């Protein structure tokens, strides 16, 4: 392959809901560019994009796939992405890398939940969008309905470049109002005729042509002045205006396609090549330090790693975009993310699992390297001494959690190694080794997302694992003041153990004054604070420890031991073994022995006094509450609302958002187990949600009773 200059490269990402036809559209693009000489199909498991075993089993894309084609002396890099929200991490990294998104719309359904989700991510990343109304050859194709749904979701920026003549099973022609021509296709090979627009279509085509001219002019002041003066624009001026509109997201052009029959694919590619901006035409990218890096081959070299994958027989492959300068074989670079040194021993362009060696790639191009030592997704490589480091990608919060354990205890260490590797390949898979819950917790975007990981662990790495419901990270606290004392005494021949501690505990309230007097069960306890230690707990909340010892009742050297004993009980709360929080402890009296008192004695005395006081202080279990935002089609609103109410949720509000209903609710984490699966089942996969931690709140009394009983039973079994 020849070396393409930055202005000869175009980078697109194919976006869209599952079933919209992205993979087959990519197949036709590669066929048009003669990268392949025969188009594969999903059913035959022969597409270039979906080449992994798990994708072929599921008959859909699960990973993003980097592809390319050569067309009209240009290189078109294509990233095919999964359509399920479970794999949104791959979509976000691909969208970040590409310059323009092609949102593929299934003409039967118009805007689907995936369209809405990926559209919001594109808006957040400020990515230009082109819309391809696909599968117009389907018997239920409805172009007008699809356009209406696009206008609801994306507004007046939706601008038709093409419209079909005969959508449905006989679909073979469309009008192009940019070229003012009709294209008719003779077969499924992409062969087409360019014809004059029929007389009966001329009024509609002319009206849409004028709308397109006006939309193009709106994005450039000079073009707008010319449009007002002349009432029209030349073809080149229209392209210039559309290009400016794309970059500014002021215009979303719409095209007609059938990826399966290769209708409209070539024309879409011509538009991308001729009108879409090359990577060097976009604004400079800023580094972490705020320095602007231009996409220019003469600048120092920098690469951003947007995808890491592991393939059998090859090992680790890192996919990157050349952000500036050029990269060549045998080039030495610095990983500015971790300060490591890397050598690019081999350089490839890729189309699925097909890799073609190249000697160099210039700014704006996309490629791959193998056998890098310590470089992963979200890392930056740059020329030595240049210290270019780009901001890492930001991914959505996880929506699904499960506990995981190797069926064979001997595989536990190996499991940890491969889970770490899985996170490097897919940063939306998060692993937590929870000391609190005594479990390994996996977080992901959905049940299907983590089931794919489970399949990989078994089939690729030969580790059989179990998934089971994770424990809930409850918290324990108190609601009133309580006093307790405890004497630890042990005599066993030689030196004994003796320590006695008197304490008062109370709820911690931000800003409350230090204690002076307590009234408990009709008696007053006066205290004099001699020392104060404020401990910010790792799991949230605080412990305030007051030294109120007077008259040397307990030697100061034993106070750290008392605190240590208290901390041991706080780390394993008396009610359910969960972390305790937000408590003030005042140690005001005690006794010691001149010979038998030691640190262990006072640690045990402090721990047991705290335990007794805690149980008398109106103890409460607190549960994590999450803020949940559900995006659901209007016809499924009632079902989703009813389900949420059954999950002890509090509905905070409802709103209509671009053709969907949005529900905001507060839901206990314990009620969200497998919610993504339930929501998908309720709405036939048409709804989505996101969740984020909000706060801790007390559980209802009946729930607390159940938790206490369950903990007692579990403790007895152990």
What are 640's two structure tokens?
Answer: 């989703």
What is the structure's pLDDT at 718?
A: 57
What is the structure's pLDDT at 137?
A: 96
DSSP β-bridge partners for residue 621: 476
What is the structure's pLDDT at 522?
A: 86
Residues in Cβ contact with 203 at an 8 Å cutoff, skipping those fewer than 6 apart: none
Residues in Cβ contact with 45 at an 8 Å cutoff, skipping those fewer than 6 apart: 56, 59
Residues in Cβ contact with 102 at an 8 Å cutoff, skipping those fewer than 6 apart: 12, 13, 14, 15, 25, 129, 130, 131, 132, 268, 272
Are 278 and 8 a contacting pair, CB within 8 Å? yes
- Nearest-angstrom CA–CA distance, 600 and 602: 6
- Nearest-angstrom CA–CA distance, 244 and 259: 28
What is the structure's pLDDT at 20?
A: 97
pTM greater than 0.85 (yes/no): yes
Which domains does the chain possess?
6-204+251-281 (3.40.50.300), 289-382 (2.40.30.10), 401-470 (3.30.70.870), 479-618 (3.30.230.10), 621-703 (3.30.70.240)
DSSP run (H or E) holding 491: none
What is the structure's pLDDT at 713?
A: 84
The DSSP call for residue 281 is G
What is the structure's pLDDT at 660?
A: 82
What is the structure's pLDDT at 190?
A: 85
The DSSP call for residue 249 is T
Residue with tokens 């394993």: 572
Q: Is 555 helix (H, G, I), strand (E, B) or coil?
A: coil
> DSSP of 664-714, one letter per residue?
EEEEEGGG-TTHHHHHHHHHTT--EEEEEEEEEEEPPHHHHHHHHHHHHHH
Are 463 and 479 a contacting pair, CB within 8 Å? no
- Nearest-angstrom CA–CA distance, 281 and 3: 19
Are 312 and 417 a contacting pair, CB within 8 Å? no
Are 518 and 483 a contacting pair, CB within 8 Å? yes
Q: 10-residue block means of pLDDT along the chain (718 residues)?
A: 95 96 97 94 96 94 97 97 94 97 97 90 95 97 97 94 96 96 90 96 96 88 78 82 93 97 97 96 93 96 95 87 97 96 95 94 97 93 95 92 96 94 93 92 95 95 95 95 95 83 96 94 92 94 96 94 96 91 97 93 97 95 96 91 96 87 96 92 86 94 93 76
- Report the phi/psi class of residue 595: left, alpha or beta, with left for phi > 0 and alpha for psi in -120 to 50: alpha
What are 109's two structure tokens?
Answer: 């359904």
Considering only CA atoms, which of 545, 553, 546 is closest in space to residue 589?
A: 553
Q: Is 42 helix (H, G, I), strand (E, B) or coil?
A: coil
**169 class by beta-carbon count within 10 Å (0-12 exposed, 13-18 middle, 19+ buried):** exposed
What is the structure's pLDDT at 717?
A: 65
> DSSP of 72-94, one letter per residue?
TTEEEEEEE---SGGGHHHHHHH
- Nearest-angstrom CA–CA distance, 95 and 74: 21
> DSSP of 371-395, one letter per residue?
--SS--TT-EEE-TT----BPPP--
What is the structure's pLDDT at 493?
A: 67
- Nearest-angstrom CA–CA distance, 469 and 485: 39
Q: Distance from CA of residue 247 to its chain's centroid? A: 25
């Amino acid at each position: 392959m020849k070396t393409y200059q930055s202005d000869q490269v175009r980078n697109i990402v194919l976006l869209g809901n599952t079933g919209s036809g992205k993979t087959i559209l990519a197949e036709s693009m590669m066929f048009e560019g003669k990268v392949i000489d025969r188009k594969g199909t999903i059913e035959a498991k022969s597409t270039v994009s979906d080449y992994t075993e798990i994708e072929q089993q599921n008959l859909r894309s699960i990973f993003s796939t980097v592809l390319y084609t050569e067309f009209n002396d240009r290189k078109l890099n294509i990233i095919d992405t999964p359509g399920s929200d479970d794999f949104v991490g791959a979509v976000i990294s691909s969208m970040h890398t590409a310059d323009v998104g092609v949102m593929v719309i299934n003409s039967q359904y118009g805007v689907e939940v995936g369209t809405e989700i990926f559209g919001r991510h594109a808006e957040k990343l400020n990515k230009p969008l082109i819309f391809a109304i696909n599968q117009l050859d389907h018997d239920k194709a409805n172009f007008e309905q699809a356009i209406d749904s696009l206008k609801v979701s994306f507004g007046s920026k939706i601008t038709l470049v093409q419209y079909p003549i005969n959508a449905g099973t006989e679909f073979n022609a469309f009008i192009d109002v940019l070229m003012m021509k009709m294209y008719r296709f003779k077969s499924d090979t992409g062969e087409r005729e360019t014809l004059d627009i029929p007389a009966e279509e001329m009024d509609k085509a002319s009206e849409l042509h004028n709308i397109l001219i006006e939309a193009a002019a709106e994005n450039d002041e000079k073009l707008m002045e010319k449009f007002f003066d002349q009432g029209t624009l030349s073809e080149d001026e229209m392209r210039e205006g559309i290009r400016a509109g794309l970059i500014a997201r002021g215009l979303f052009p719409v095209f007609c396609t059938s990826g399966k029959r290769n209708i409209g694919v070539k024309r879409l590619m011509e538009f991308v090549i001729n009108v879409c901006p090359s990577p060097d035409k976009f604004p400079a990218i800023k580094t972490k330090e705020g320095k602007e890096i231009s996409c220019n081959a003469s600048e120092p070299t920098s690469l951003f790693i947007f995808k890491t994958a592991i393939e059998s027989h090859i090992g680790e492959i890192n996919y990157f975009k050349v952000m500036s300068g050029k990269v060549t074989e045998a080039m030495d670079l610095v990983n500015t993310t971790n300060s490591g040194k890397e050598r690019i021993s081999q350089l490839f362009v890729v189309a699925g699992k097909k890799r073609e060696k190249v000697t160099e790639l210039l700014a704006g191009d996309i490629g791959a390297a193998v056998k890098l030592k310590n470089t992963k997704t979200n890392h930056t490589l740059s020329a030595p001494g240049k210290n270019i480091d780009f901001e890492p990608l930001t991914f959505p919060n996880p929506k699904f959690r499960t506990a995981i354990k190797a069926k064979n205890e001997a595989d536990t260490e190996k499991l940890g190694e491969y889970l770490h590797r899985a996170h490097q390949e897919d940063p939306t898979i998060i692993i937590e080794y929870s000391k609190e819950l005594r479990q390994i917790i996996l977080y992901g975007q959905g049940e299907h997302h983590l089931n794919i990981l489970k399949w990989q662990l078994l089939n690729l790495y030969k580790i059989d694992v179990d998934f089971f419901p994770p424990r809930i990270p409850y918290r324990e606290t108190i609601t009133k003041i309580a006093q307790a004392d405890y004497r630890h005494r042990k005599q066993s021949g030689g030196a004994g153990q003796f320590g006695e501690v008197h304490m008062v505990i109370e709820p911690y309230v931000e800003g409350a004054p230090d204690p002076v007097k307590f009234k408990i069960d009709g008696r007053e306890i006066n205290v004099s604070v001699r020392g104060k230690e404020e401990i910010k707990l790792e799991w949230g909340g605080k412990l305030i420890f007051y030294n109120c010892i007077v008259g040397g009742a307990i030697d100061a050297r034993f106070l750290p031991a008392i605190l240590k004993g208290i901390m041991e009980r706080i780390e394993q709360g008396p009610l359910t073994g969960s972390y305790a929080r937000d408590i003030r402890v005042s140690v005001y009296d005690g006794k010691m022995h001149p010979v038998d008192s030691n640190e262990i004695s006072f640690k045990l005395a402090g721990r047991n006094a705290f335990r007794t006081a805690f149980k008398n202080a109106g103890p409460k279990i607190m549960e994590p509450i999450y803020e949940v935002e559900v995006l659901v089609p209007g016809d499924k609103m009632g079902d989703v609302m009813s389900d949420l109410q059954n999950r002890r949720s509090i509905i905070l509000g409802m709103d209509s958002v671009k053709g969907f209903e949005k529900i905001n609710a507060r839901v206990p984490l314990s009620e969200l187990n497998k919610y993504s699966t339930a929501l998908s089942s309720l709405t036939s996969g048409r709804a989505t949600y996101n969740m984020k931690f909000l706060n801790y709140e007390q559980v209802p009394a009946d729930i607390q009773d159940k938790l206490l009983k369950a903990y007692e039973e579990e403790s007895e079994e152990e």
